[in-house]
């Protein structure tokens, strides 16, 4: 994928993070309170937005590190995505998916740290 496309993807992930944060605070407030999962939703939004910003930053580098970029995308989908669904549905089995997203985040950051 070309740099402008990766930049757009990063921007869309950031947009989605802000929208999901607002939706959780307003549209899902009662559901999250009933399920006792408001903190879970907030954690999902926090990691989503932090890594959307990381995507945005690395997509602007002259030589885009594709491996870390893909790890961050996978982390957002697996980590934050599983927490979003868990917070709304209460399906505890999704808790098994969340650590895979965490590992993807860690792999992306380690990849950047070891990158030449």
State the Cα–Cα distance between residues 44 and 67, nearest whole angstrom: 22
What string of pLDDT tens digits covers the 116 residues of the chain?
Answer: 678 789 999 999 999 999 999 999 999 999 999 999 999 999 999 999 999 999 999 999 988 889 999 999 999 999 999 999 999 998 989 889 999 999 999 999 999 999 86
Residue 42 CA to its chain's centroid (Å): 12
State the Cα–Cα distance between residues 64 and 8, nearest whole angstrom: 14
- Choose among 100, 103, 76, 74: nearest CA to 15: 76
State the Cα–Cα distance between residues 40 and 1, nearest whole angstrom: 33
- Length of the chain counted residue by residue: 116
DSSP 3-27: HHHHHHHHHHHHHHHHHHHHHHHTT
Q: Does the pTM of the predicted model rise above 0.85?
A: yes
């Amino acid at each position: 994928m070309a740099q402008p496309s990766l930049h757009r993807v990063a921007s869309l992930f950031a947009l989605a993070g802000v929208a999901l944060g607002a939706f959780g605070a307003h549209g899902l407030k009662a559901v999250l309170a009933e399920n006792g999962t408001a903190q879970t939703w907030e954690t999902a939004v926090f990691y989503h937005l932090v890594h959307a910003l990381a995507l945005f930053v690395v997509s602007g580098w002259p030589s885009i590190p594709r491996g870390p970029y893909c790890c961050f995308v996978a982390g957002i989908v697996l980590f934050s995505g599983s927490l979003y669904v868990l917070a709304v549905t209460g399906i505890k089995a999704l808790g098994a998916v969340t650590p895979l997203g965490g590992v993807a985040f860690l792999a992306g950051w380690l990849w950047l740290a070891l990158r030449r």
